[in-house]
Chains A and B, each alone.
Chain A
């Protein structure tokens, strides 16, 4: 294959990239757009470190060819949810609950939790677990992550800012 110019909509902005069309979205975000908050953990859809929102739904960016999300699909990465000093409610809850160790899995956890709370504003513990189960955290911050999501839910609006 050869490089092609594609148009992407990322965090509310239109971006043009020249890439191999089958390049996983993950590497386009990281290297072409320098949005490095989305992480590589396996490239196989098994760790959940790479999720972004596509039209509001969390998907594995490591498994998604960039051409599949070009032309008008709405891509939201962790950078689109909030910035230092202006955190989204879910980010704020992860901060107060120390819902991380090394933090490597955290951006993707926050992406998933944001979508979860939009779909299910008052999730039970079981609903949180079922929805988050594809995300691995080797630091095992799990109890704190569950607590953070519960508290973001209790505080009402867990939705994204962007």
Chain B
């Protein structure tokens, strides 16, 4: 880290250039311009300015005196391949080998706060923006070199980190020796670079992390200070928020555990610090503590409670003559769908190491959002944020769950309690019980009216819970009404891979195939007649072809599809083949096929891995995952209580990229595969059994019960 900081200062100081540009394209409102410190200002002041809140959503490219190009970003590598893609982009734009490019991610002392890493906007919002910025930087370097060498800019060429005069009369000038100071790239600079951007070539490089990962040398938060710090943990009530009061407490048995350093009450929780992870766990197990239970009755029927407590949150869409269109429809289909609660359950539990003092605190946190972790730590320790440095460590799986959370501030509290560095690794049970958030259960009532020619005339949707998103740009619907209801249930909502579109698309696309069947139309043909975006047409054909759709399947087998539009022009069609065992109720997904139009694929290796993984998330949501809890607490303590996919569940998966819509620009692909996969599997199960499952997941018990009726 010290080296990186020197490098950063080196770039800022007398011998290099720093370029700053707006990265806020992923947000609705652009970042307001800032006043940069003037050239030659004190280096520390520049770093302070660079990492202050005023620089939110800015990207940094630093060209050091030796010609090394370093990007500083607050974004995190989550396994989505962002690091690989950023290296690919910068190396390719500057024609530099890997060794001449550096990437500093997620360190609040060295990186601008360019937002949490969630959703699928990382390649679209960050990597492509860097691609444009790199070219804008090259153009500025040519301008400055022309001035410096007193030659016309047209006489200069950039190649591989050097600028040379075409006629060869002078020695080439390294890009580290062109100038010094800070330069802001304006939106106009980026746009003009975008105007004649060379096409980005996917060289299909292996992940930059590959060697470290396969040798076990990639550093995660838990690997920091191995053998050099204490361990700590908190004993908290297992209840959901709101927090309950500690009624009685006996710490003495815990203090007897060997290797325990300190056991103490902290507010309404118990903190233990010891020399080993095991000692701390044993100490907490020995604590006798009793908490006041929450006041409300523990059990409730989810769907009933959601419906009973509903309040209209907003009218999402209200267009055309809905009642008239319903009356004019040849067929009207009405259905209700209920989705389960789910939780991300990464393999790495919440983990952080903190070395806290009032003067200066450093914390290494497994997080998707280092700046939020810094804010929480500062608040917990009651110190200004400038005194806290969070080194964001790449999570061993985050999936939304590590975009917020308390592990950093809890580790800091433990560290300040004992005045030494403390590592806090959540036990699996604590991870499943404490501060748990859930992907929400959504109840959807959908009605569609169609003509006998197979055209959708009208649709109404009532969403209960969730955001009511995911229906846009799928089908041409002349008359439409959709409303969002919210119900106070007291369960914390989680962001989770697949977005809120998952619940919507499961319901809507299941419904779509039921509507098609109601008029005897084929599922692909019905979609062809109704999709509002022509980009779907080739995808539908390609996906059907990959699946082998149209041939007769043996009994107990079925085919189904789902489509999804997400983010900015991400189109997906997924097809599934399933086999259903009527006696056991077991559903086996035998094939998954996906056709995607997501624009430019930046790195096929990491993109393909990510898309197949996301399709498996869809499979899991359809068949396995169901968070169990009551109004008091989570009922999950271990992976045995929360089924996630295993090797034996994995079908053959094939995907294809079709680039019909603006193929030169990447549009992201992290989440769009999840929702249509859920629907495709549900539709395939219907095709195989003639039964529609209106509640997820389709567990063997549910299937068995339904089929024996």
From B211, B227, B612, B645, contact of A144 by CB (8 A): B612
- Alpha-carbon separation in the docked complex, A79 to B209 (Å): 16
Q: Does B647 contact A (CB under 8 A)?
A: yes
**Stretch from B234-242, B343-351, B439-447 forming part of the interface with A:** B343-351
- Alpha-carbon separation in the docked complex, A117 to B517 (Å): 49
A1 — which chain B residues lie within 8 A by C-beta? 258
B348 — which chain A residues lie within 8 A by C-beta? 39, 41, 102, 104
- Alpha-carbon separation in the docked complex, A44 to B281 (Å): 13
Contact A140 B645 (CB under 8 A): yes
Q: Does B35 contact A (CB under 8 A)?
A: no
- Alpha-carbon separation in the docked complex, A102 to B395 (Å): 7
CB distance from A37 to the nearest CB of B (A): 2
A79 — which chain B residues lie within 8 A by C-beta? 215-217
- Alpha-carbon separation in the docked complex, A39 to B351 (Å): 12
Query: Which B347-394 residues have a C-beta within 8 angstroms of A?
Result: 347-349, 394
CB distance from A43 to the nearest CB of B (A): 6
Query: Which A45-100 residues have a C-beta within 8 angstroms of B?
Result: 46-47, 49, 77-79, 81-85, 87, 91-92, 94-96, 98, 100
CB distance from A5 to the nearest CB of B (A): 15
**Stretch from B171-179, B218-226, B699-707 forming part of the interface with A:** B218-226
B347 — which chain A residues lie within 8 A by C-beta? 39, 41, 47, 49, 104-105, 136-138
Q: Does B70 contact A (CB under 8 A)?
A: no
Which A-chain residue is minimally distant from B645 (CB atoms)? A140
Interface readout for B632-661 with A: 1 if CB under 8 Å, 0 if not?
Answer: 000000111000111110100100000000
**Stretch from B323-331, B332-340, B559-567, B602-610 forming part of the interface with A:** B602-610
Which A-chain residue is minimally distant from B395 (CB atoms)? A102
A37 — which chain B residues lie within 8 A by C-beta? 215-217
Which B-chain residue is minimally distant from A135 (CB atoms)? B647
Name the residue among A1, A100, A101 with the largest chain B CB count within 10 angstroms. Answer: A101
Interface readout for A1-43 with B: 1 if CB under 8 Å, 0 if not?
Answer: 1110000000000000000100110010011101111111111
Contact B206 A83 (CB under 8 A): no
CB distance from B429 to the nearest CB of A (A): 9
Contact B79 A100 (CB under 8 A): yes
Q: Does B80 contact A (CB under 8 A)?
A: yes
- Alpha-carbon separation in the docked complex, A13 to B638 (Å): 35
B608 — which chain A residues lie within 8 A by C-beta? 98
Contact B212 A44 (CB under 8 A): no
- Alpha-carbon separation in the docked complex, A82 to B214 (Å): 9
Contact B278 A24 (CB under 8 A): yes
Contact A87 B215 (CB under 8 A): yes
- Alpha-carbon separation in the docked complex, A141 to B394 (Å): 17
- Alpha-carbon separation in the docked complex, A44 to B216 (Å): 21
Name the residue among B215, B348, B427, B606 with the largest chain A CB count within 10 angstroms. Answer: B215
- Alpha-carbon separation in the docked complex, A15 to B392 (Å): 33
Q: Does B271 contact A (CB under 8 A)?
A: no
- Alpha-carbon separation in the docked complex, A137 to B220 (Å): 16
Contact B215 A102 (CB under 8 A): no
Q: Does B276 contact A (CB under 8 A)?
A: yes
Which B-chain residue is minimally distant from A19 (CB atoms)? B276
- Alpha-carbon separation in the docked complex, A102 to B399 (Å): 11
CB distance from A155 to the nearest CB of B (A): 15
Q: Does B613 contact A (CB under 8 A)?
A: yes
Query: Which B593-646 residues have a C-beta within 8 angstroms of A?
Result: 605-606, 608-610, 612-614, 616-617, 620, 638-640, 644-646
Contact B613 A139 (CB under 8 A): yes
- Alpha-carbon separation in the docked complex, A81 to B216 (Å): 10
Contact A34 B211 (CB under 8 A): no
Known: A136-B639, A138-B345, A138-B346. A102 touches B79 (CB 8 A): yes
Q: Does B213 contact A (CB under 8 A)?
A: yes
- Alpha-carbon separation in the docked complex, A87 to B346 (Å): 27
CB distance from A86 to the nearest CB of B (A): 9
Which A-chain residue is minimally distant from B204 (CB atoms)? A98
* Interface residue tally for chain A (C-beta within 8 Å): 65
CB distance from A48 to the nearest CB of B (A): 9
From B345, B394, B428, contact of A43 by CB (8 A): B428
Contact B79 A40 (CB under 8 A): no
Query: Which A118-159 residues have a C-beta within 8 angstroms of B?
Result: 128-130, 132-133, 135-146
Q: Does B78 contact A (CB under 8 A)?
A: yes
Contact A98 B605 (CB under 8 A): yes
Interface readout for B263-302 with A: 1 if CB under 8 Å, 0 if not?
Answer: 0000000000000111100000000000000000000000
Known: A84-B217, A139-B397. A103 touches B79 (CB 8 A): yes
Assign chain B's interface to a size class: 35 or more
Secondary structure of the A contact surface, majority rule: loop
Which B-chain residue is minimally distant from A41 (CB atoms)? B347
Q: Does B578 contact A (CB under 8 A)?
A: no
B226 — which chain A residues lie within 8 A by C-beta? 30-31, 34, 36
A31 — which chain B residues lie within 8 A by C-beta? 226-227, 276-277
- Alpha-carbon separation in the docked complex, A139 to B348 (Å): 11
Known: A34-B226, A34-B227, A105-B347. A143 touches B650 (CB 8 A): yes
- Alpha-carbon separation in the docked complex, A106 to B646 (Å): 14
CB distance from A126 to the nearest CB of B (A): 9
Which B-chain residue is minimally distant from A142 (CB atoms)? B650
CB distance from A105 to the nearest CB of B (A): 5
Contact A42 B397 (CB under 8 A): no
From A27, A39, A87, A102, contact of B211 by CB (8 A): A87
CB distance from A77 to the nearest CB of B (A): 7
A96 — which chain B residues lie within 8 A by C-beta? 206
From B258, B344, B605, contact of A2 by CB (8 A): B258
Q: Does B259 contact A (CB under 8 A)?
A: yes
Q: Does B558 contact A (CB under 8 A)?
A: no
B258 — which chain A residues lie within 8 A by C-beta? 1-3, 20
Contact A46 B638 (CB under 8 A): yes
Query: Which B47-86 residues have a C-beta within 8 angstroms of A?
Result: 78-80
B209 — which chain A residues lie within 8 A by C-beta? 103
Which B-chain residue is minimally distant from A34 (CB atoms)? B226
- Alpha-carbon separation in the docked complex, A85 to B529 (Å): 55
Known: A41-B348, A139-B79. A103 touches B650 (CB 8 A): no
Q: Does A110 contact B (CB under 8 A)?
A: yes
A106 — which chain B residues lie within 8 A by C-beta? 213-214, 216
A104 — which chain B residues lie within 8 A by C-beta? 220, 346-348, 396-397
Given A20-B276, A102-B79, 14 extra CB contacts under 8 A: A31-B277, A32-B227, A39-B348, A42-B638, A46-B428, A78-B215, A83-B217, A95-B207, A95-B210, A100-B79, A103-B79, A138-B399, A140-B614, A142-B645
Can you list 21 contacts pairing A with B, beta carbon distance less than 8 Å?
Answer: A1-B258, A27-B276, A30-B222, A30-B226, A31-B277, A32-B227, A34-B227, A41-B428, A43-B427, A47-B428, A91-B215, A102-B78, A105-B396, A133-B647, A133-B648, A138-B347, A140-B612, A140-B614, A140-B616, A142-B645, A145-B647
A contact residues vs B (CB 8 Å cutoff): 1-3, 20, 23-24, 27, 30-32, 34-44, 46-47, 49, 77-79, 81-85, 87, 91-92, 94-96, 98, 100-107, 110, 128-130, 132-133, 135-146
B contact residues vs A (CB 8 Å cutoff): 78-80, 206-207, 209-220, 222-223, 226-227, 258-259, 276-279, 344-349, 394-399, 425, 427-428, 605-606, 608-610, 612-614, 616-617, 620, 638-640, 644-648, 650, 653
